[in-house]
Chain A
Amino acid sequence: MDRSERIGLGVSIAAHAAVFAALVLSFAKTPPQEPPKAIPIDISLADKVGLESSAPVPSQEELAAKKSPVEAPVEPEAAPAPAPEPEPQPAPPQPQPAPQPKPQPPQPKPAPAEKPQPKPKPAPAEKPQPAKPAQPAKSAPPSKAAPAKPSNAPSQSAATGSTRRPVKPTGNLAGLDLGRSNNKTNSTALQNPGSKASPEEMASFVGVIKRQIQPCANRQVTPGPGAERIRVLVRLHFNPDGSLAGDLDFTGVQGTDSSNERYVERVKDLARAVFKGCTPIRGLPANLYAVPNGWKSLPFSYGLPR
């Protein structure tokens, strides 16, 4: 190793040290990136397909005036006989016993365990009552309308041609159609409750409630260290207008230990304040109120914001 190589060795060592230092410094200069924080996400598993049928119970009112249009055209040119009117009226009472046995056969099929319990409540209690007044009152107009049409028909057909034509000759099929359309005008059909809230619907209105509760929940301050680990389980009872019915049912407490035990009552008070402060809830689906899994009574768990 001669002089030039000694110089070379020195230069080489210095250059390597410089490169190394530059590398270390350049990497040290890049700000250490914060590892992405784990943002807790509430996951609600809503099945696409409910294991239990959530289809609405088909209207329990009989397709009342089915026959009337068929019968009515029989005597079109005759004087508008009031006679067919009383005829359908006795008919509706006949089907009414029928709906009660009807709901039972479909019920055992999808859910033998749960269905029979809630069914009797809404179905016989609410249904027949509006149905009875509705039936005589509203099944009457179709039967009236049916004979009224033919009575108008001659004059109209004379004037405008065959606008009302289908009513007359088509018989059964047209009558069925007419009867059904008449039936739909019964306002009870609109509020026909779903037989059961599907998991998706549950997730939806639970989400609605959570969203509206959130502002109140955000306002609360933690009463002490460790209190945010407490979760109280509550069951809320709602009125149909979305307000709370009565007090909260505290069904349990989670996450307590010796350090935060004394805050449990305080957290319960906070939960009460939160749920009372931001109710009534608006925008809940009215037809899912009193059905099984509906929002009449819902379990929630409340914890302070961390």
Chain B
Amino acid sequence: MPSVTTGAVLSPIHLFLQADIVVKLVMIGLLLASLWTWTIIVGFALKVSAIRKEMQRFETEYREADDFDEFHRRAAGRDQPIARVFAAGVSEWRRSTAGKTIDREGTRERLATAMGATVAMEIDRLSDRLNFLATVGSVAPFVGLFGTVWGIMRSFTGIAAAQSSSLAVVAPGIAEALFATAIGLFAAIPAVIAYNRYSHAVNRVEARLHRFADGFHATLSRRLEMEG
């Protein structure tokens, strides 16, 4: 095939169009995975930075507030993880102190459990997408490799059929096959980097929520003693 020029052989469109149907499916799948990976990466970056800012502002307001009941009226409705932890603590406090007799130990335990559960739920929601990054990071190279192996098998079959092992016969098949691995790595590398980075970010958010929950728990615990 002397009419095929080198530039055309290496162009992504040509590589894709020349490929076998299996390799095409692999390429499409990997491309979608890459697309979704980057969606998650960008979306998560926006979300985490928003959450950090909200937590910063919320904690500042919380420290400045005189009375948490009054602050709860202002802040509990916000769609923020830290606000939901605060609201969970407040509502548990109200339920536990509504009766005539107050079980202080039980109330403290219930407060800790309620706020801990809310923190865990928020972290779960936050890190919902991260498992996809982990999956893409670990599986995409193998999927790409599968496409490559399949394409090379096919091009070897082509060599056998053409009874010629000249580079012109072998090269397009192998190039298109290697293109699958290239896409696999293209999807996997950002996914792995993002997964490690965002796991760390989620851990920091979780630690911060716990610190806030502990601080609020201490406040409520003090108030419990004063009321008792």
Question: Within A1-47, which residues are at the interface with B (CB < 8 Å)?
Answer: 2, 4-9, 11-13, 15-16, 20, 23-24, 27-28, 30-35
Q: 10 new A-B pairs (CB below 8 Å) besides A2-B43, A8-B44, A33-B6?
A: A4-B43, A7-B42, A7-B43, A9-B39, A16-B34, A16-B35, A20-B12, A23-B12, A24-B12, A28-B7
B50 within 8 A of A: yes
**Could you give, for residues 1-30 of chain B, a 1 whenever the CB lies within 8 Å of some chain A CB and a 0 otherwise?**
011011110111100000000000000000
Complex Cα distance, B12 from A267, in Å, reads: 51
The answer to whether A8 and B39 have CB atoms under 8 Å apart is yes
Contacts of A35 in B (CB 8 A): 2-3, 5
CA distance A10 to B47 in the complex (A): 15
- List the A side residues contacting B39 at CB < 8 Å: 5, 8-9, 11-12
Bound CA span A32–B8, Å: 8
A4 and B7 in contact, given A16-B34, A16-B38 (Cβ under 8 angstroms): no
Report yes or no: A24 in contact with B5, Cβ–Cβ below 8 A.
no
**What band does the interface of chain A fall in when counting residues whose beta carbon is under 8 Å from B?**
20 to 34
Is B167 engaged at the interface, CB distance under 8 Å to the other chain?
no
Residues of A within 8 A of B41 (CB): 8, 12
User: Which of the residues B6, B34, B43 comes within 8 Å of A8, measured between beta carbons?
Assistant: B43
Tell me the dominant secondary structure on chain A's binding face: helix
- CB proximity of B114 to chain A, nearest CB, Å: 25
Question: A-facing mask of B29-68, CB < 8 A → 1, else 0?
Answer: 0010011111111111111001000000000000000000
Q: In the complex the two chains form, what is the Cα distance from A7 to B45 in whole Å? A: 11
A24 near B38 with CB under 8 A, answer no
Say yes or no: A13-B12 contact (C-beta < 8 A), given A7-B43, A27-B7, A32-B7.
no
Most chain A beta-carbon neighbours within 10 Å: one of B3, B7, B34: B7
Please tell me if the beta carbons of A27 and B10 are within 8 angstroms of each other in the complex.
yes
Q: In the complex, A12→B43 CA distance in Å?
A: 10
Distance between A93 CB and nearest chain B CB, rounded to angstroms: 70
Docked Cα-Cα span, A20 to B16, in Å, equals 12
CA A273 to CA B34, docked complex, whole Å: 72
Of chain A, the residue at the smallest CB distance from B41 is A8
Q: Using an 8 Å CB-CB cutoff, how does the interface string of B189-205 with A read, 1 for contact, 0 for none?
A: 00000000000000000
Q: A7-B46, A8-B42, A8-B44 are in contact. Are A28 and B11 (CB under 8 A)?
A: yes
Distance in angstroms from A9 CB to nearest chain B CB is 4
CB distance B2 to A4 under 8 Å? no
A31: B residues at CB distance < 8 A: 7
12 A-B pairs, CB-CB below 8 angstroms?
A8-B42, A8-B46, A9-B35, A9-B39, A23-B12, A24-B11, A27-B11, A30-B6, A30-B7, A32-B6, A33-B5, A35-B5
Known: A4-B47, A12-B35, A16-B35. Contact between A32 and B5, CB under 8 A?
yes
